[in-house]
Amino acid sequence: MKVFGERVKATLKENGRTQKALAAAINVQPSTLCEWLNGNNQPPMQAIVDIAVYLDVSTDYLLGLKEYD
């Protein structure tokens, strides 16, 4: 899920938000989020939805199924 991590990181940067803030907002440890974004582990479906809501993008965009959101 390399594209997932890249898109989450890029969207956070575009919006001036941090990984730490995202982790707090979705109630996971920052280290867990880091594992997901680096592709070392896959997030559960609900976490993907929560991240999409926080970033105001679609899950399809985060997963690489849509080019732009």
Nearest by Cα to 2 from 42, 53, 57: 42
Instruction: Note the pLDDT of residue 68.
Output: 74
Instruction: Note the pLDDT of residue 67.
Output: 85
Is 17 buried (19+), middle (13-18) or exposed (0-12) by CB count in 10 A?
A: middle
**pLDDT band for position 7 (cuts 50, 70, 90):** very high
Would you kindly state where each structural domain of the chain is located, as residue ranges?
A: 2-62
Question: What is the CATH code for 2-62?
Answer: 1.10.260.40
For 18-54, the pLDDT digits (tens) are 999 999 999 999 999 999 999 999 999 999 999 999 9
